[in-house]
Structures are given as C-alpha cells and as structure tokens.
Structure 1
Amino acid sequence: MVEVFDGAEASVVLERRWPNRFATLGDRFYTPMQPQGLPEPHWVAWSERCAELLGWQGQRDGLLQVLSGNASLPGMQPLASVYSGHQFGVWAGQLGDGRAHLLGELDTPSGPMEIQLKGAGLTPYSRMGDGRAVLRSSIREFLCSEAMAALGVPTTRALCITGSALPVRRETVETAAVVTRVAPSFIRFGHFEHFTHTAEDTEALRQLADFVIAHHYPECATLAQPYAALLEAVARKMAELMAWWQAVGFCHGVMNTDNMSILGLTIDYGPFGFLDAFDPGHVCNHSDHQGRYAYARQPNVGFWNVHALAQGLMPLIDDAEAALAALEPYKTAFPQALTRQMRAKLGLATAHDGDMALIDGLLKCMAADRADFSITFRRLAQFNSAEGASNDVVRDMFLDRPAFDAWAQAYGARLRAEGSVDAERAQRMNRVNPKFVLRNHLAEVAIRAAEQGDFSETHKLLKVLERPYDEQPEHSAYADFPPEWAQSIEVSCSS
C-alpha cells in the first residue's frame, strides 16, 4: 500500500492526529495487515454528514485511493483484530476481522474515531472467505448505518462506499465494494470471550478491560469492582439499544456475540430489515432457520448476549453474585426504556399505570391484521381525540374494525384524561414516529440501479433517509406501502 502525502490528502493529514490507541494493546490483539484494495476504484456513495463528524467535509476527491485500500495516509496503522464468539447460540471459537481492516484511530471534532474498511481483502481471520464485500450488501450497510443515525438509534456510521469491477462470487458473480465504517471503537463482546474461552489469557483479558474502561467507561475505574461495573454499564446500554430497535421496528438478523458492540452501538448490518406488516415473529434473516433472532425475541437475545459477556469477564470479576447483580439492571432498564419510547410514539405526555396495556392493545390489533408498522404509527399522529370521532385515516389500517374501535375509544379517553391538545401531540409524535425507513424494497431498487452503474438512486435515498421525521412531500412515494413484489425479497448471511 502506497503512502500519500500530496494534494487534498495532505490538507486532511496535517490537521489531524492518529493516536491509534487500539494498536498499543500489542500483537495478542491483532495482526498488522495492509488492505488489498480495489483495482480501478470509483465512488459509489458518500455521506457528508459522516464526513462532518470526522472533520473531512469537502475532502472526498482526495481520498478515493485511501478509502479503497490502495493507499495510506501518514499515521495510519492498518490491522485486523482477533476475537471469538457465539453464532446463533453456538460457540464458534476464534473468528476475527475476516474482511475488515482498521486503518487507525483519528482525532476528530467529535473525539477519537476509528476508521475501518470492510471488504478490503483477506486477513489471517478470513477462514474460508475471500475477505471481500459485494456492492449489494455494501449499499445496504451504508444506507442503514446513516439511516439509523438519523433516527437517533446508537450506531456505527458509514462514510462512503467505493466500488470496482473486480468479480466476487457469492450465489452468483457480483462486483466488489468497500464500505468505510466509523465508530469510537469496534471492540465487540467477542473480543472478551476470545481471551477467556479461546486464548485463555487472563492477562490480556484484563488489559482489554482496562483499556475499555480507561477510554470509554472511565466512571467504572474508581469503583470497588470496576469489571462488574463495566458489565453493568454495558448491560444498561444494551437494554437501551434493544428498546430503540423495538420502537423503530428494526430487526438485526445476526445478533451473534461477535456482532455486539461493547459501546452498545448497532454494528454489522448484514441481513437486517425494518418491519413492513407487523408480525412479532418476523425473521429478517433467511439463514436463521430456527427464528432465533425474530423481532420479538431480540430483547431476550440481547440479555443472553450480555450474559455471554459476563462469562467472558468472569476471570476478572471472580464473583458470580457480583456478575449476576451487574446483569440484573437489564431486566428493568429494557422495559422502562421501551415503555418510555412507546409512550412517546403514542403521544402520551404523562405516565399512567395502564399505559402498557394500552400499548399492548394497539400492538395486538396491528399483529392480528398485519398493519404496517411505520405507517400505522405515523398516521396515529392524525388521531382525533374528541369523543365519538371516526378516525378513518387510522381505522383504515385495520380489518377488524370493532377491535380497533374499542382500542381507539380507550386511547381517546386516555388522551382526554391528560388534557392532550391534538395539534401539539401530533407535532411530538411526528418527531418520534419516522415517515421514512429503509424498507427492503427501497434498498433493492437502489441496488438494482447501482448494479447497472447508476448510483443516483442510492444518493437520493440517502438524502431522504437523513430526514426520516420530516414530511418531505416531494418524496412521499418512499413512505408508501411496499409493493407486492417486496414480499419475495430474501436477505441472508451471504454478502
């Protein structure tokens, strides 16, 4: 890989420092690894919002070769990290960055950020893979990373996609692409599991935990049991993240422990999906034959994963009671967070004892009639709380009209009881119920165009998804019901 010093790159480098803190951990944690890069790369997409996060706005033209893995900026220290993990509930042993290269950590206006290339070639951890990513999955990851950020969901970010004519074989022959991912850290639950269950290296485990505490959870350092405190802090973050996912109707699809961020971020967008017709048992990953990661099961799997992290930390905590106590807050933090989110989605300004029954009643009606998740909640902002109002705009979402009418009567009474003003409530609800989400068919349309060399739909869709709560009447088609052909779309672990 060639170092770049001149032109636009220099203006980026001279203003930024690369602390590369993860690299200081030593060779037990990673292998120094130069990306293989893409032959004759071209731009596919770029997020100016993510660029602003890095202080790289306006710098795109000077970074094509660097962000395709063909060149390096002074200060970068490319590496691939090692970790292990549970996949679909089964211990998988050593895994690692099989197609990801951490270029380094950059000082930014938003604090230190790690820059990672996904799809830049083989690493020692690629196992039977080729280390590449295809254009199809890269577009999905790029768009969803930025869409989730715009929704307010904790997530890793995506700066850009670069593409190439390089052929990559999956079910068919596709073309290669590289996604540039950004996060304060890409450390996963699996990093801790690795040093407990695979490498059996307690010294390295302690070094990793101390590193994470020092840089990301400093409040834990002064407590009597810092490692138990770390576990509790992560458990709380995971509970909040699960509440976010459930509230926006997001299904992750591969909630393996190696895909869980120690910072409580959404990470590794593979076979994800947003709910169309509401089905609590919806499984978005065609490879998940047992439905382990179905939408309704995500909160319990989140707890299972935190429990696996606890097992990974046990050599440091060395007290089963302390570990169990650290996990306990998840059980209350998740329902509290979800109730808070759902109250907001219903526009409830105060908390009443019967609110969860009201929320559950709506979800049961939606599930029975497979009402569209995003459209139903968005339309609910138009609900007329006056006694006897017909509310056809919401009622039309349901086949079982008497069931909806009974719920609507209870909802209207609840709103009147707190003196809700419909216009004010509508404004609040439209700030938490997105009009636009990355539905599978929208991504598929963008992908099909991109595979023909037309990236304009990807660019347009990104701009729409950056403002998910705004009306955007000129883009109303992106908020419509999915077409019938969308039901045939299958996403799997193949990418």
Structure 2
Amino acid sequence: MNRPVDMAASLDLGLPWNNRFAQLGEAFYSHRPPTPLPSPHWVGTSPAVADLLGLDRAWLASPAALDAFTGNLPIAGTQPLASVYSGHQFGHWAGQLGDGRAILLGEVDAGSGPQEVQLKGAGLTPYSRMGDGRAVLRSSIREFLCSEAMHALGIPTSRALCVTGSPAPVRREEIETAAVVTRVAPSFIRFGHFEHFSHHGLHDELRQLADYVIDRFYPACREVPGSAYAALLEAVSARTAGMVAQWQAVGFCHGVMNTDNMSILGLTIDYGPFQFLDAFNPGHICNHSDTGGRYAYNRQPNIAYWNLFALGQALLPLMDDQQQALDALEPYKALMPAALQRRMNDKLGLTRVEDGDADLTESLMKLMAADAVDFTIFWRRLSHAVAGPIESVRDLFLQREVFDTWATRWRDRLQSQPGFDAAATQARMLQTNPNVVLRNHLGEIAIQRAKQGDFSELARLQNALEHPFEELPGQEDLAAFPPDWASQIEISCSS
C-alpha cells in the first residue's frame, strides 16, 4: 500500500499536505519516489510561487530546499507517484502513456487553494517507455521561464517554483546535463487520463475520475439539468476556448497540443517546443518535429476542438447518448472566435465588440502577415500611438499606404466610442500588449550562459518576464527586434 513518506527520515517543510489524487487508488498511478541526482545546484527560483505554497522565501535558497526539490531528500507528508494516462499524439492514438519523467509529490492546501507539486525530470517511472526519466537544462529553463511569463501575462498556466541542475549526463541529440523543474498546479489531470480509462473499458474508474474532477473543480456541473458529465465537457470546452484565445492574442504557439498535454482545467501545461511569434506568420510551426504543421499557430483553435472531441468520446460511456456530447461541444464553435475577438478588441483599445470589428482585425492581420511585421513590437507601438504619433508603427510596414488606410479606420473606430479618452485608452492598451515576451532567442541566450554556470541572464530575463507590461530601464534589449540568427533556432519534442 502506498503511504506518505516517513517523517522521521525526511524533511518537514511545515506544509499542509493532502494527497487527494493518491486517494483515488492505485489504478490511477504507480508509487515512485524520485531518483537522486549528484551534486545539485540552483538554476532559478520563483519567490512568488514560494508565497503561493506558503514556503519561506529565504528557506527556498537553502541546501535542504535544493536537495528536496532535486529529489534527493524525501519530504514529510508527501506521497510520490507517477500517474497513468493515454492519449492522441499528432492525431494518432498512442496508447498508454503516463508520467514518464514527472513525479507528483502531493498536494498542498495553500491559502489560495490546493496546489499539486510535481518534480519534472526526477527519474524513471513505470511509464517512461524508452525514455530515461530525465529532463535537460535547456528544456527545464524554458519551462520555468515560460510558466512564470504566461502567469504574468494573465494566461491560465501551471507555475514553476524552481529549477535545479546537476552535472549528471543526459543523452539527447548530444550529451547534456540534467535538471529538475518543480512545477505547481491545482491539478495535472489531462484529457488523456479520461481517454485511458475509457479506451480500456474501465468505466468504473472513468466515472470515479470524472466525479473527482467535478466535485473538486466543477461543482456547478451538478446543478445543471441533465448529465453532469456533459456539463463537465461543456465547462472544459469553455475554459479551453478562453485559454487558446489568450494564446492567440499574444502570439503564443504551443508546439505539442496532444490530448495528453491538454489540461482538464484549461491550463497551459507541458512547455516543450513552444514559441512567441517574431515576424507574424499565421502558418508558423514552432516545433521542428511537427513536419506536417498540425500545430501551426493558425490551427490551434481547431486542434483544441479536435482534442475536446476526443475528450467527449472518452466521456461517452457516462452519458445517455452521443448527442449529449455533441451538444456539449457545440458552444465552443461560437465561444472561441468570440473570446478571440474580445481579446483583439482589447489589444486595439476598443471597449466593446461591434459590427465591423472582425473585419478591422482580419484586414490588419492579413497586412501584418503580408509584410512579416513583428507581432509584439507592432502591438506595443500601436499602444503608444493612441496618444502620440503613428510613424513608428507605420515604419513597420512595406505597404505603408495600405496601413494608412487601415489606421484611419482604426482611429475612427476608437474615437466613435462614447467618452473616448486617448490617454486612458493608451494606458489600457499598454497593460494589454506586452513589452517583453519570451522570444526564442532570449531564452537561448539565457540557456547558453547557464550552461557555462552563469545564471545572471536567466534572472534578468525572469524579472522582465514577471513584469511584461513595464518598460524597465536597462532592459531595452529584451524588447528589441530579434537578431537574424533567431530564425535559425530549432525547438523539437526532445527539447
């Protein structure tokens, strides 16, 4: 029987652990303690996530914390496990998957609500398949930075408490060094968890899992007439639509939108090959392994629906008929574009959606694509142009007369708003359109320096990403155009 770690032989963090997922039973996971790593060292920490969990910030820098979050020192009250799930990968059924390199320590009853704590890269599990159970430094830094960057942008996401490194060798395309990310979320349950039990005909476990998710995270589904499970599917669809709309609005591409990487809570999880757009290209593919472009930027909304449809199929054994699932999915088709248009209106400084706004947005995006305009810089400059000259925005375009025509339409639409105030609109837009995002080249510079043992650039970048809407002195280079070599960076599923 899987039991909490013995307190006499472990570190007591003083946190209120409550291992609810483990209480589902061993059909859902395998007990697996982390595998230690030699000579661990700190790479980065997030004091804000320490606050979230109720950990002392000063203690987070201690040797005991280093050992605990590398997996070298057991933590009292935790119940380490690797969960089992299945899923569709690149549109194909992949069969049984599971936490191949992630180990769930347990759940902390934090002041802001329960939070699961997971070590990614903590060693082999029964679900590692042909993998080694480890994560490398470069991918761990990218996940750490992007988790906290997305949170600062207001996008639902898992969080990252810290990254620790080790000189232990890990083979990918070349020999690299190991690292562990401590990541945090209310739950790491995925669409693939439901697919696993449904595919194997384990309908009692499927119902148990669905009831757990509803009672913990979607209690309002019990009050909806009809099927609570159909209501769950509809609620997950709504959250997913909102999340993907937020991705699109900041130019974020998730490179591996497999069903096993989709959160049942509508969170961004599993930061592998991702990218924030540089030059705007609707068909941009951020994952070098995605040879067919399945997860290209402009396909993300439809892929999210495809994944929700797969979730609906998994939940069918709990519903009266297929139509219930189809009816639950139908609202997504309107919710997604409506959510995205609201986001785009916010970026444009428009306080409500009116007829013609979709055309205003679409004509702009076509022009940006045709001239390969830098996505983040365009929106930031446009924000400043509300109460100032527009020449700096105009200079981004080759087809300047076409842009002038669009800009006139935009200004007319802005000024038609009741009580329009240029300064107030500019202030809103500057808090909507970020100054700094985690561009690939910025992450690469931090990674290369970290490989040499210099983590100062990572810390500087982290600080900027935690304040993405501010124009901080001395960080102008982080908001500048990417260098020419940035377009040559390739991020793959092994990253």
Question: Corresponding residue for 2:347?
Answer: 345
Q: How far off its partner does 1:492 sit? A: 0.2
Whether the aligned pair in 1 keeps the contact of 2:82 and 2:102 (CA below 8 Å) is yes
Question: Corresponding residue for 2:193?
Answer: 191
Task: Return the alpha-carbon distance in structure 2 between the equivalents of residues 288 and 318 of structure 1.
Answer: 37
> What secondary structure, in the 3-state scheme, does the structure 1 residue paired with 2:330 have?
helix
Matches within 5 A, 1:295-444: 295-384=297-386, 391-418=390-417, 420-444=420-444
> What secondary structure, in the 3-state scheme, does the structure 1 residue paired with 2:341 have?
helix
Q: Work out whether 1:44 is the aligned partner of 2:46.
A: no
Question: Corresponding residue for 1:86?
Answer: 88
> What secondary structure, in the 3-state scheme, does the structure 1 residue paired with 2:167 have?
strand
Whether the aligned pair in 2 keeps the contact of 1:80 and 1:101 (CA below 8 Å) is yes
> What secondary structure, in the 3-state scheme, does the structure 2 residue paired with 1:267 have?
coil
> What secondary structure, in the 3-state scheme, does the structure 1 residue paired with 2:475 have?
helix
Q: How far off its partner does 1:421 sit? A: 2.2
Whether the aligned pair in 1 keeps the contact of 2:5 and 2:77 (CA below 8 Å) is no
Matches within 5 A, 1:222-237: 222-223=223-224, 224-237=226-239
Amino acid at match of 1:290: G
Q: How far off its partner does 1:352 sit? A: 1.8
Q: With structure 1 as the length reference, what TM-score do the two structures score?
A: 0.96
Q: Work out whether 1:21 is the aligned partner of 2:23.
A: no
Q: How far off its partner does 1:6 sit? A: 9.6
Task: Return the alpha-carbon distance in structure 2 between the equivalents of residues 217 and 288 of structure 1.
Answer: 34
Q: How far off its partner does 1:2 sit? A: 8.6
Q: How far off its partner does 1:110 sit? A: 1.4
Question: Corresponding residue for 1:206?
Answer: 207
Whether the aligned pair in 2 keeps the contact of 1:383 and 1:422 (CA below 8 Å) is no
> What secondary structure, in the 3-state scheme, does the structure 2 residue paired with 1:181 have?
strand
Q: How far off its partner does 1:329 sit? A: 1.1
Q: Name which of 75, 79, 100 aligns with 2:77.
A: 75
Matches within 5 A, 1:102-181: 102-181=104-183
Amino acid at match of 1:469: F
Amino acid at match of 2:464: V
> What secondary structure, in the 3-state scheme, does the structure 1 residue paired with 2:343 have?
helix
> Any idea what the Cα deviations from partners look like across 1:42-82, whole Å, max 9, x if unmatched?
11100011111111132211311111011112110000000
> Any idea what the Cα deviations from partners look like across 1:267-315, whole Å, max 9, x if unmatched?
0000000000000000000000000000000000000000000000000
Tell me the percent identity.
61
Q: How far off its partner does 1:4 sit? A: 6.5
Whether the aligned pair in 1 keeps the contact of 2:386 and 2:425 (CA below 8 Å) is no
Amino acid at match of 1:430: L
> Any idea what the Cα deviations from partners look like across 1:139-177, whole Å, max 9, x if unmatched?
000000000000000000000001100000000000000
Task: Return the alpha-carbon distance in structure 2 between the equivalents of residues 53 and 6 of structure 1.
Answer: 26
Amino acid at match of 1:468: P
Q: Name which of 269, 276, 279 aligns with 2:278.
A: 276
> Any idea what the Cα deviations from partners look like across 1:356-395, whole Å, max 9, x if unmatched?
111111111110000000000010012257xxx9721110
> Any idea what the Cα deviations from partners look like across 1:236-274, whole Å, max 9, x if unmatched?
000001100000100000000000000000000000000
> What secondary structure, in the 3-state scheme, does the structure 2 residue paired with 1:72 have?
coil
Whether the aligned pair in 2 keeps the contact of 1:36 and 1:120 (CA below 8 Å) is yes
Task: Return the alpha-carbon distance in structure 2 between the equivalents of residues 264 and 483 of structure 1.
Answer: 34
RMSD: 1.5
Task: Return the alpha-carbon distance in structure 2 between the equivalents of residues 2 and 153 of structure 1.
Answer: 34
| Of 269-278 and 414-423, the range deviating more from structure 2 | 414-423
> What secondary structure, in the 3-state scheme, does the structure 2 residue paired with 1:122 have?
coil
> What secondary structure, in the 3-state scheme, does the structure 2 residue paired with 1:124 have?
coil
Task: Return the alpha-carbon distance in structure 2 between the equivalents of residues 68 and 236 of structure 1.
Answer: 36
Q: How far off its partner does 1:3 sit? A: 5.8
| Of 68-77 and 287-296, the range deviating more from structure 2 | 68-77
Task: Return the alpha-carbon distance in structure 1 between the equivalents of residues 165 and 437 of structure 2.
Answer: 25
Whether the aligned pair in 1 keeps the contact of 2:386 and 2:426 (CA below 8 Å) is no
Task: Return the alpha-carbon distance in structure 2 between the equivalents of residues 395 and 264 of structure 1.
Answer: 37
Whether the aligned pair in 2 keeps the contact of 1:82 and 1:96 (CA below 8 Å) is yes
Whether the aligned pair in 2 keeps the contact of 1:35 and 1:78 (CA below 8 Å) is yes
Whether the aligned pair in 1 keeps the contact of 2:147 and 2:157 (CA below 8 Å) is yes
> What secondary structure, in the 3-state scheme, does the structure 2 residue paired with 1:374 have?
helix
> What secondary structure, in the 3-state scheme, does the structure 2 residue paired with 1:147 have?
helix
Whether the aligned pair in 2 keeps the contact of 1:382 and 1:393 (CA below 8 Å) is no
Q: How far off its partner does 1:5 sit? A: 6.1
Amino acid at match of 1:405: D
> What secondary structure, in the 3-state scheme, does the structure 2 residue paired with 1:107 have?
strand
Whether the aligned pair in 2 keeps the contact of 1:446 and 1:455 (CA below 8 Å) is yes
Question: Corresponding residue for 1:481?
Answer: 481
Whether the aligned pair in 2 keeps the contact of 1:347 and 1:428 (CA below 8 Å) is yes
Q: How many residues align?
A: 487
Whether the aligned pair in 1 keeps the contact of 2:432 and 2:469 (CA below 8 Å) is yes
> What secondary structure, in the 3-state scheme, does the structure 2 residue paired with 1:349 have?
coil
Unaligned stretches of 5+ residues in structure 2: none
> Any idea what the Cα deviations from partners look like across 1:105-163, whole Å, max 9, x if unmatched?
11111111100000011000000000000001000000000000000000000000011
Q: How far off its partner does 1:420 sit? A: 2.7
Amino acid at match of 2:432: V
Amino acid at match of 2:44: A
| Of 313-322 and 229-238, the range deviating more from structure 2 | 313-322
Task: Return the alpha-carbon distance in structure 2 between the equivalents of residues 3 and 402 of structure 1.
Answer: 71
Task: Return the alpha-carbon distance in structure 2 between the equivalents of residues 29 and 352 of structure 1.
Answer: 48
> Any idea what the Cα deviations from partners look like across 1:428-479, whole Å, max 9, x if unmatched?
1001000000000000000000001111111111111000011213211100
Distance 1:218 1:384, change over 3 A: closer
Whether the aligned pair in 2 keeps the contact of 1:158 and 1:180 (CA below 8 Å) is yes
Task: Return the alpha-carbon distance in structure 2 between the equivalents of residues 346 and 481 of structure 1.
Answer: 21
Runs of 4+ in 1 over 3 A off after TM superposition: 1-7
Unaligned stretches of 5+ residues in structure 1: none
> What secondary structure, in the 3-state scheme, does the structure 2 residue paired with 1:103 have?
strand
Amino acid at match of 1:222: E
Amino acid at match of 1:248: V
Question: Corresponding residue for 1:218?
Answer: 219
Task: Return the alpha-carbon distance in structure 2 between the equivalents of residues 391 and 66 of structure 1.
Answer: 53
Task: Return the alpha-carbon distance in structure 1 between the equivalents of residues 376 and 491 of structure 2.
Answer: 20
Task: Return the alpha-carbon distance in structure 2 between the equivalents of residues 281 and 131 of structure 1.
Answer: 33
Q: With structure 2 as the length reference, what TM-score do the two structures score?
A: 0.96
Task: Return the alpha-carbon distance in structure 2 between the equivalents of residues 410 and 34 of structure 1.
Answer: 60
Task: Return the alpha-carbon distance in structure 2 between the equivalents of residues 486 and 431 of structure 1.
Answer: 27
